Structure 1
Amino acid sequence: MTMDMSRYLGLFISEATEHLEALGRDLVALEREATASTVDSMFRHAHSVKGMASSMGFEPIAMLAHRVEDLVDAVRQDRKLLDRDLVDLLLNAADTLTAQVRAVAANREPEQAEGLLKQLGTRVESLTGHAPAATRVAHVTVLKSSTPGDGGE
């Protein structure tokens, strides 16, 4: 059964954008001082984006958000793991997630970001000693609603 998810698409875009903006602010704050509350906030934002993207069937976004979540979780366990390279990697991931959400908003497929996923996975494994878990994504079809005059008539 195909469920019409188009009514949730705008909400997904809005909520994901808010979470990613907050994640960006947290990363800037993290550069000044790595507090437990900032790291916890980053984890929650990545987790929220992962869950929303997964439930909407946006696998590339869910997978990338999951890798960010895994990496931030490693930092939650030991903030001494945090270094400039890790912050730069997380900033790159946040920028890529934002671009992926913008692609969805423009009715385009989000970038797969395979190279970045590999970098994040390698970093997670080097920090934790185990490979990151697989991401489960719902398989849904998002039907874009047509508006008279937009070519969808």
Structure 2
Amino acid sequence: MTSASPPARQGADPRERDGGLGTGALALGLVATGTGLTAALWSGMDWLAWTALVLGLLGLVVGFIGARRAFHDPHRNGAMSLSGFVLALIGLIIGAWLVVPALLGIGTFGEGLTLDECMAQAQGQHEERMCASQHIDEYRARYGDPGGSGG
């Protein structure tokens, strides 16, 4: 006696096709991109850059798993997983673009300081150049044009 396989369901709910991974990836990607763009547009929202970074990482993982499952199973639709993956990648890039310079201490030296305070805290020519570029008008008034001919 042979047992026949159960008949395939024709009207399967689309949410059952990807196991919720596509929806999760898309939601994480949208929130990661939105918080990253918000952090980039408004200063003082640095915590949003961290949120975009973390949610972007999570969205990448969930989107990758969902897209991989959909690739290996012809009954699954991986469009939401793939779009969530792409949006999470965008959110991750924006978050990293905002967080990494702060972590490495590059690009923000001397912000909010006067030229005198900045030059007093500078340790080396690189930081002195950062002070000069941030306070270029005051620097030129005191020390002359650094790029001009000394003639």
Identify the TM-score tier after normalising by the shorter chain: 0.3 to 0.5
TM-score after normalising by structure 2? 0.37
Bigger relative contact order, structure 1 or 2, given CA contacts below 8 A and separation 6+?
1
Larger C-alpha radius of gyration, 1 or 2? 2
